[in-house]
Amino acid sequence: MFDTMKALIDYATEHETTFSEIMIKHEMDTRGMTREEVMAMMQQNLDTMREAVEKGTTGKGVKSVTGYTGQDAIKVHEYNKNHQALSGFDMIAAVEGAIATNEVNAAMGIICATPTAGSSGTIPGILFKLEKSHDLTNDQMLEFLFAASICGMVIANNASVAGATGGCQAEVGSASAMAAAAAVQTFGGTPEQAGHALAISISNLLGLVCDPVAGLVEIPCVMRNAIGSGNGLISADLALAGVESRIPVDEVIEAMDKVGRNLPASLRETGLGGLAGTPTGEAIKAKIFGDSKRSEVFS
């Protein structure tokens, strides 16, 4: 497979093909499956994403076991329906889907980890927003996910998509970048433009720490997916407009890896630093887990 984004971009350009088509053929070859079987597997992922968004935005929404997160997607939905959103209807529609997915995750519901559970809302938020605003077909949505997948593979092989290794930049940052590149492909951008979108997206969230309050994927994880969805859409638009990342995409991925490794352990999913280490964050942890010894076990 491709070791770098440059190799992927060059191959797609030379063979006049797309990221999604390359990924589909890769899955067929490595899994020994037919095209129909590979597409059916991705369809299951798409259906899972849709069900999570619908669950989080229907009725009263969902609430986590701790009670500290949930039902915000419903608030955002109502706000977007009854007000002129400052960042625009479409942007808030993406935010709504992103929050809904992560609220379902926090409520122990079924989600599709894209690329992780903690960042599972970013891609669906963008994808279902584009379906509504730009009338994407089911096939286009599947191709979007395959394109995002191959970009995620390159990122994971050269850096990380785990908060414990690289901070939230590796989770929400990667998800945002994957979606940005996929969106560029979906709307007729070149492979090179998709690379610029990916680079811009990661650059915008470079250094983002992973500091889950009480060690749970709730605060601030849910809202960071909202930011990830906005970042991905903006980065895709910038690339489609002809804006280029001045730092090559593979160097941006390498920088993310180095930044992540240089983050202190307290800012890499341990639930010790950042927002988790604030007085309120510590109080929430104590309320959920009780005495300090027990909370340490779950940190």
What digits encode the pLDDT tens for the residues 199-225? Answer: 999 999 999 999 999 999 999 999 999
The pLDDT score that the predictor gives to residue 292 is 55
How many other C-beta atoms are found inside a 10 Å radius of the C-beta of residue 297? Answer: 8
Residue 26 has pLDDT above 50, yes or no: yes
**Helix (H), strand (E) at residue 279:** helix 279-289
d(CA 66, CA 68): 5
Q: Strands, DSSP E only, in 60-165? A: none
The pLDDT score that the predictor gives to residue 297 is 39
Tokens of 57: 């935005």
The pLDDT score that the predictor gives to residue 124 is 98
d(CA 261, CA 120): 23
Residue 295 has pLDDT above 80, yes or no: no
34-49 burial, b at 16+ Cβ within 10 Å, e below that, comes to eeeebbeebeebbebb
Average pLDDT value over all residues in the chain: 96
223: three-class secondary structure by DSSP: helix
Q: What pTM does this model have?
A: 0.95
CB 126 within 8 A of CB 229: yes
Nearest to 197 by CA among 158, 228, 232: 232
Structural domains in the chain, sorted by start = 5-289 (1.10.4100)
Express each pLDDT in 140-169 by its tens digit: 999 999 999 999 999 999 999 999 999 999
Tokens of 269: 């999913």
Q: Measured in whole angstroms, how far is the alpha carbon of residue 53 from the centre of its chain?
A: 14
Express each pLDDT in 83-114 by its tens digit: 999 999 999 999 999 999 999 999 999 999 99
244: three-class secondary structure by DSSP: coil
**Long-range contacts, 108-111 (Cβ 8 Å, 24+):** 108/64, 108/65, 109/52, 109/55, 109/62, 110/48, 110/51, 110/52, 111/48, 111/49, 111/52
Residue 1 has pLDDT above 90, yes or no: no
161-173 burial, b at 16+ Cβ within 10 Å, e below that, comes to bbbebbbbbbbbb
d(CA 199, CA 202): 5
The pLDDT score that the predictor gives to residue 285 is 97
Going by pLDDT thresholds of 50, 70 and 90, the confidence category of residue 37 is very high
The pLDDT score that the predictor gives to residue 291 is 64
Query: Mean pLDDT throughout 174-195?
Result: 98
